[in-house]
Amino acid sequence: MMTRKNTDKSYQYEYSVGESVHIKELNLICNIEAELGSGTQGKVYSLITPNNSSLALKWYFPSMATKEQYGILKSLIDIKSPSEKFLWPLALVENSEKDGFGYIMPLKDKRFKSFSLWLSRKIDPSFKVLLTACFEISQSFHLLHSKGFCYQDLSINNLYFDPHSGDIRIGDTDNIIINGSEKGNVIGTPKFMAPEIITGNQLPNTQTDLYSLAVLLFYILFLNHPLEGKAESSIKSLDIPSMTKLYGTNPVFIFDPDDSSNFPDPIYHKNALIYWNIYPEFFKKLFTKSFTKGIKDPQYGRVRETEWQIALLELRDSMYYCRKCGSENFLDPSFRETLGLSKSSTNLVNQDNLSSTILQNLNCFKNIDDVTTCWNPTCRNINHKIMYILIDERKMIVLNHDTRLFLHHVDFSLGYDFTRIVAQITKHPHNDNLWGLKNLSDTTWKVETGNSSPIEVLPNQSLLLTPDITINFGKTKGTIYY
Amino acid sequence: MTLPGGEISKRELHFIWIVDCSGSMRDDGKIQSLNYAIREAIPHMQREAESNFQANLLVSALKFSTGAHWIIPPTDVNSFKWIDVEAKGHTDLGQALVLLSEILHIPPMTNRGLPPVLVLLSDGQPTDNFEDGLNKLLQEPWGKKAIRISIAIGEDANMKVLQQFIGSDERSPLLARNPEALSNYIRWVSTVVQSASARPRSQQKNDELHDSNVEIPKPPEMISTATDVW
């Protein structure tokens, strides 16, 4: 019995179902429930835990179980996760009967799906969900980068989202390193790697992460790669040499305003053409910057996460439902120029430095009838009646049947927080044709209407929505337009 | 409301099993192990393909013994069903490669695809003119671009021939000494290799990015307690 271990029992690097796993750091003994997947670095298993917590184990292949990887994991575990959105390493696991080592991380809930299911159109999220997910991705990477980390391998394969809410989870966190430390085994995933990594001039860093982020957002919102246009469809065999050219040595944005050589092919890149026509100009500009200046100048040309966050939220707030077909459309502020309304007020003070195009000139933005056409090809409705609230003449939120105002909408000094709802659109209890704004905050609103004396809306009361009334939320004032 | 547009445009990816059904495959249950291993691998292959948004995976199979013929035409991976093969006759690998070169011609192949994956499984010596067949295959652009993998079933396989089929100095044929190893290798080619062609994985720092046609991850490390049965 005593000698058995050394004689006929070979070392193993895999677990089988039911096998026990001792997690010393957490003082837990778990069992393998199932193998969830196998990647280039190792295998991932779900665990049965005595306290019913949802945990997963990643066990490295022997060649990947390097000293360096061990060190990275150890420091990640010490630092703790930046937010619950990261499936962050919780504890190291070693086993005298297995080769190498592994680590424990939270197991993602089943509601989280791979973005590739969206790209294959096997799930059917809304614009609102996609924009929420993109916002959360930008916010999470901002948080990670601001702590001095670099993700190194940002790609669509490592991210998951809830197709009903847009909530996200970020996997493969075991490649995260301190920016600039040049540690770790990976250099990225092709198609997501910044050109300067492909050409061998750089190792992954936060600037290359920003490039990968822009590719990822483009994929999610345009269902196409930003560099896959005519130059891609003319390639017969998409192999490494052709990919190096397309994504590395000669990258051209498909909507490059100065170079049409890689414009989308109407057969293979139809999605890019369709979605390019749906999003407002102010939003598309960020992608143009990312893949023109951002390619030429990795240090200063790239779009920062905070810029993405602001633009994504503005886009989300500018969304309205077509009255005829229910499709989600976006109110493009550039049509004001078409109406000749643009020049009167460009001197708005930008108090929180969150400058962006949609916020400018908004006080002229009052007659918005018949300026946009629904993108739905079977609808093409041009008759939109859109109600919106303009807060402190700067922040516009379209009021739809399901709109909610959050604390950051009415208090510009605060960061984004989707857990604190201050107002919500509601239906009148007795009259379906009347809509109100329910006060879900704990402060009383003072409301000025044009002709009568000011009224007060107490918490949990609703205010009938009529044009030209102004609500004083405390720190800001919002005026309703229709 | 469903959002506009359709699924992202995919490239065709052909995955072709080239199976040795010569008489010697009858020994020690090799052909049974092979049938079993491929059947085992199919659900994993389908699952891998599901999360692969870049490729439209088409699987087919070609067998060779005395002569060679197609047993399964290119089939969408989701409706792919393995048909068990039997072992009998010679090892006409050359003829199999000629047949292969015909299908890798444009047309019937698309002119917009991903490098095909050709998986050769064999336990012995070719009995016909293997080199002529290989030359024909390599004359086809898709044959040359293909990811060619070979798995030797047992020690008797001609490793030189299998190496010639691969054509790369960096990789070697995979030697499956027992059914467990065969099953592991078959699962590896049907999941990891198919995705290497279509959905590139994370690159390792020391990978050679520019020298090869397709980046192929390392095969599974075979550490096993089982004894060699073949």
ipTM confidence score: 0.80
Q: Which CATH architecture group holds A113-310?
A: Orthogonal Bundle (1.10)
Contact of A359 with A394, CB cutoff 8 Å: yes
Euclidean distance between CA atoms A231 and A74, whole angstroms: 44
Contact of A197 with A204, CB cutoff 8 Å: yes
Residues of A in contact with B112 (CB under 8 A): 233, 235-236, 268
Measured between CB atoms, does B217 come within 8 Å of chain A?
yes
Residues of A in contact with B142 (CB under 8 A): 237
What residues of chain A, 383 to 442, have a C-beta less than 8 Å from chain B? none
Superfamily of chain region A11-106:
Phosphorylase Kinase; domain 1 (3.30.200.20)
> Minimal Cα distance from A231: which residue of B?
B112
| φ, ψ for residue A170, nearest 5 deg | -115, 120
Q: What is the pLDDT of residue A169?
A: 98
Q: Is A45 helix (H, G, I), strand (E, B) or coil?
A: strand
- Do the chains contact at A126 and B113, CB–CB below 8 Å? no
Q: Which residue has the higher pLDDT, A32 or B124?
A: A32
What whole-number percentage of chain A has pLDDT above 70? 90
Kindly give the pairing relationship between strand B117-122 and strand B11-20: parallel
In a domain, B219, yes or no: no
In a domain, B221, yes or no: no
Q: What is the pLDDT of residue A79?
A: 92
Residues present in chain B in total: 230
Nearest-by-Cβ selection for A120 from B8, B207, B214: B8
Nearest-by-Cβ selection for A239 from B106, B145, B218: B145
Q: What is the pLDDT of residue A321?
A: 94
Mean pLDDT of A30-36: 94
- Do the chains contact at A189 and B114, CB–CB below 8 Å? no
Q: Give residue A389's pLDDT band: very low, low, confident or very high (50, 70, 90).
A: very high
Q: What is the pLDDT of residue B214?
A: 66
Q: What is the pLDDT of residue A362?
A: 42
The string of pLDDT tens digits covering residues A419-443 is: 899 999 999 989 888 899 999 999 9
The string of pLDDT tens digits covering residues A256-301 is: 999 999 999 999 999 999 999 999 999 999 999 999 999 999 999 9
The string of pLDDT tens digits covering residues A58-116 is: 999 888 899 999 999 999 999 989 999 999 999 999 998 888 999 999 999 999 999 99
Q: Which CA distances in Å does B39 have to A151, A288, B80?
A: 38, 48, 10
Q: Where in chain A is the domain with CATH 1.10.510.10?
A: 113-310
Burial class (CB in 10 A: 0-12, 13-18, 19+), A42: buried
What whole-number percentage of chain B has pLDDT above 90? 52
The string of pLDDT tens digits covering residues B146-196 is: 989 999 998 888 999 999 999 877 788 898 888 888 888 888 888 877 766
> Minimal Cα distance from B1: which residue of A?
A327
Q: Give residue B76's pLDDT band: very low, low, confident or very high (50, 70, 90).
A: very high
Measured between CB atoms, does B168 come within 8 Å of chain A?
no
Q: Where in chain A is the domain with CATH 3.30.200.20?
A: 11-106
Euclidean distance between CA atoms A151 and A123, whole angstroms: 27
Euclidean distance between CA atoms B95 and B92, whole angstroms: 6
Q: Give residue B230's pLDDT band: very low, low, confident or very high (50, 70, 90).
A: low
> Which residue is listed with tokens 């009415």?
A410
> Minimal Cα distance from B201: which residue of A?
A189
Q: What is the pLDDT of residue A42?
A: 87
Residues of B in contact with A124 (CB under 8 A): 2-3
Measured between CB atoms, does A119 come within 8 Å of chain B?
yes
Euclidean distance between CA atoms B74 and B61, whole angstroms: 8
Kindly give the pairing relationship between strand A395-398 and strand A404-406: unpaired
Q: Where in chain A is the domain with CATH 2.60.200.20?
A: 332-481
Residues of A in contact with B49 (CB under 8 A): none
Q: Which residue has the higher pLDDT, B229 or A100?
A: A100
Interface test with B, best of A66, A181, A239, A244 (most B CBs within 10 A): A239
What residues of chain B, 174 to 213, have a C-beta less than 8 Å from chain A? 191-192, 199-205, 207, 209-210, 212-213
Q: Give residue B21's pLDDT band: very low, low, confident or very high (50, 70, 90).
A: very high
- Do the chains contact at B224 and A10, CB–CB below 8 Å? yes
Number of domains in chain B: 1
Measured between CB atoms, does B8 come within 8 Å of chain A?
yes
In this structure, what DSSP letter does residue A249 have? I
Alpha carbon of A233: minimum distance to chain B alpha carbons (Å):
7
Please, what is the average pLDDT of chain A? 87
- Do the chains contact at A240 and B6, CB–CB below 8 Å? no
CATH of the domain at B174: 3.40.50.410
In a domain, B227, yes or no: no
Q: Give residue B219's pLDDT band: very low, low, confident or very high (50, 70, 90).
A: low
Measured between CB atoms, does B43 come within 8 Å of chain A?
no
Residues of A in contact with B168 (CB under 8 A): none
Residues of B in contact with A117 (CB under 8 A): 50-51
Measured between CB atoms, does B138 come within 8 Å of chain A?
no
Q: Give residue B221's pLDDT band: very low, low, confident or very high (50, 70, 90).
A: low
In a domain, B223, yes or no: no
- Do the chains contact at A189 and B201, CB–CB below 8 Å? yes
Q: What is the pLDDT of residue A416?
A: 85
Euclidean distance between CA atoms B56 and B79, whole angstroms: 13
Among the listed residues B182, B114, B151, B140, the one whose alpha carbon sits nearest the alpha carbon of residue B18: B151
Interface test with B, best of A240, A276, A325 (most B CBs within 10 A): A240
Q: What is the pLDDT of residue A45?
A: 96
Q: Which CATH number fits domain A332-481: 3.40.50.720, 2.102.10.10, 2.60.200.20, 1.10.287.3610?
A: 2.60.200.20
Rounded to a whole number of angstroms, the distance between the first and last alpha carbons of chain B is 59
Among the listed residues A240, A140, A233, the one whose alpha carbon sits nearest the alpha carbon of residue A193: A240
- Do the chains contact at A10 and B225, CB–CB below 8 Å? yes
Contact of A370 with A323, CB cutoff 8 Å: no
Mean pLDDT of A403-412: 93
CA-based R_g, chain B, Å: 17
When mean pLDDT is compared across A5-9, A41-45, A388-392, the lowest value belongs to A5-9
Mean pLDDT of A11-29: 89
Domain holding B187, by residue range, is: 26-67+80-197
